[in-house]
Each structure stands twice: as structure tokens, then as C-alpha cells.
Amino acid sequence: MTSQPNSAARPAQPVVVSRYDEVRALLADPALTVPAVPRPPFSLTVAWLRGAVGRFADGPVHAARRAASVGVLAGLDERALRAEAFRRAAGHPGPELVPVEVLAVALGVRAEDGARAARAVAALAPAYLPPATPPSPVASPVQAAPDDAAADAGLAELSRLLGDPEPERLAVLAGLLAQACAATADLVRNALAADAGPCPVEDLLAETLRHDPPVRTLRRVAVRQAAGGVPAGTTVLLDVAAANRDPHVFDDPDRFRPGRSPRHLTFGAGPRPCPAERIALALAAGVVEAIRR
Ligand code: HEM
């Protein structure tokens, strides 16, 4: 296991895991959990949102909130999302937020308010997401340092554009949009920047997700001894970006080669993988196709 062991003299450092098989095994290990974020009383703040979504909950609370998100996602039509992303991205000077714009409209924002909703989500997303560890090597406007006042204003604006739904529904919709925002923007940006030559958009996206993953690390805490002898209480950083270039799994891993087997771990694994992989791919494909045309 690639690790930085804890020392009694220093504050505990996370154990970093970067081998593909170990990252995948630990993602499936129920001994590793996501520490629950406390839920304050309802207010239009990102602190409330973080406490109300599944992503930062564990156990049965996570399961129930995840199910609510999955229920909403099941009502979305991927082909329609892809076509709408294509339509909105064509000729767009900065198409990275088109996926979240299209998603916002599919979730109930009026079509003419889609771009406004996307800006509101981009304002709240940096305060919603845990900071990237280590920071992403690719500068991303939607992973800027959080501005809490701007983030809370973004949530208030988004709630208004969604028709001020009751809090449980708002948490599901705003959580989906916040999860989607930076990840789809980075996927679009990285795919368009890749020096890929002509290839099917699906292959381009799959290899971008492996080679330049928008989500680079996942953080967990061991509630009891975990696979590989990780002791209880340890914070574990699962280095997805490194695992995606594990030479034991990927031939010539640093080479960008669309068409190779898409076995990356960028959408997570185990009990809490991304529930929106197909939606994310449909949105990004529509945008990238429109720009590459
Ligand atoms: C390229 C785009 C995306 C990537 C790479 C990505 C990746 C991920 C990953 C790795 C996780 C798991 C986090 C963990 O294990 O701690 C996750 C969770 C999640 N993602 Fe995505 N995601 C993407 C797009 C989206 C989109 C478009 C949506 C919504 C439509 C979405 C909704 C969610 C939700 C709700 C969760 C939390 C799941 C849970 O609580 O169990 N994601 N995503």
C-alpha cells in the first residue's frame, strides 16, 4: 500500500492509497465511511445544504438520501439531455457550464433561466465540495477558493429559480446540480484540451476520465480496521488519479489513447459510486460534439 504512515509526534497525516486494486477494494470496504456533516436547521446556506445531502452522510441516512437522488435521475432522458446540450453548446464561447445549465432546466428551472441557474450553481459549488487534495493540476474556475457569502447567495438564487421547493426537495435538486457542476465542466474542458485526433466522442470522454479525472481523490475514515490493515481512526485518501495510471492495469498509462478499455475509477465504486455516470456522459458528449464539429 502506498502510504504516509502516521507519526505519534505529528498530527495524523492521511494514508494515501494509489494502487488500482487497493483503491477499488477500499471503496467497497464498509469499514471506510464518509464522516457525517452535521445538519443545521433549514436556512438557505451551503452549510445547511451539505448537512442535508447524501454525499456527506453515512449509513441509513446516506441510503435514503441517495435513493431520493436516484429517483430524480431516473426521470431524466439521456438522449434529450445530450441533444439539448448540443443545441446550447453550439457556438457557445465558454461551454463548460452548459451541462449544468441543461440539467437545471431538466430539473425544473425555466428554459430561459438556465444560464442564470448555472451561474448560481457555479457560485455555490466550491463551498459545497470538499477541497481537492492535493489541488488539481488543471486550474478550474468552478473549483476556486470558496466565497461563503457568494455561495449562500448562489443557493438562494437557485432555490428561487427552482420555484422555492420545500427543503427536502431543494436538498436533492441543489445537491445533484452541485455534484454535477465542477465535474462536468472539468470533463468538458479536459476533453476539448486533449490532443486526441479524430475518434468517437465516447472514447475521447472515457480516456479523458481516466487520464485527467475531474474527481482526483476521495476521502474516507476507517471506523474499524479496514482492508490492507488500515487501522481504525485512520483518514484514507484514495488517489483515483494515480490508480487510473497504475501500470499494473493500464499499458503505457501516461499516454492519452482513446479506445482503450474504460476501467477507470473516476466515478467511484462500492456502495456510493456516482449515480449519474450516464447522465454526465450524455451531457458532456453533447457539448463536446457541438464544439468539435
Ligand atoms: C464527469 C462527471 C462526474 C464525475 C467524474 C463524478 C464523480 C463522482 C464520484 C467519484 C462520486 C462518489 C464520491 C465518493 O465516493 O465520495 C460521485 C457522487 C455523486 N455524484 Fe457524481 N460525478 C460526475 C457527475 C455527476 C452528475 C452530472 C451528477 C448529477 C446529475 C452527479 C451526482 C452525484 C451524486 C448525487 C453523488 C453522491 C452519491 C451518494 O451520495 O451516494 N455526478 N460522483
CA of 179 to the centre of ligand 1 (A): 6
Residue pLDDT, tens place only, 72-111:
999 999 999 999 999 999 988 889 999 999 999 999 999 9
Looking at residue 12, the DSSP 8-state letter turns out to be P
Residue pLDDT, tens place only, 31-48:
999 988 999 999 999 999
98-106 and 114-128 are packed helices; what angle lies between their axes, rounded to 10 degrees? 110
Q: Does residue 276 have a pLDDT over 80? A: yes
Position 6 scores a pLDDT of: 45
Atom of ligand 1 nearest to the CA of 187: 1
Longest distance between any two alpha carbons in the chain, whole Å: 58
Separation between Cα atoms, residue 278 and residue 127, nearest integer Å: 25
Position 104 scores a pLDDT of: 98
> pTM higher than 0.85, yes or no?
yes
CA of 272 to the centre of ligand 1 (A): 9
Residue 65's nearest CA partner among 173, 158, 207 is 173
Residue pLDDT, tens place only, 148-184:
899 999 999 999 999 999 999 999 999 999 999 999 9
Atom of ligand 1 nearest to the CA of 186: 1
> What residues flank ligand 1, with Cβ below 6 Å?
34, 54-55, 62, 66, 69, 103, 175-176, 179-180, 183-184, 187, 214-215, 218, 266-268, 272-276, 279-280
Strands 217-222, 15-17: parallel, antiparallel or unpaired by DSSP?
unpaired
* Percent of the chain predicted with pLDDT > 70: 90
Q: Does residue 2 have a pLDDT over 80? A: no
For 1-29, give one letter per residue: b (16+ CB within 10 A) or e.
eebeebeeeeeeebbbbbbbebbbbbbeb
CA of 188 to the centre of ligand 1 (A): 15
Average pLDDT, the chain: 91
Kindly tell me the burial class for residue 116, based on how many C-beta atoms sit within 10 Å of its own C-beta (0-12, 13-18, 19 or more): middle
Separation between Cα atoms, residue 206 and residue 197, nearest integer Å: 15
Domain 15-132+145-292 has CATH 1.10.630.10: yes
Q: Does residue 262 have a pLDDT over 80? A: no
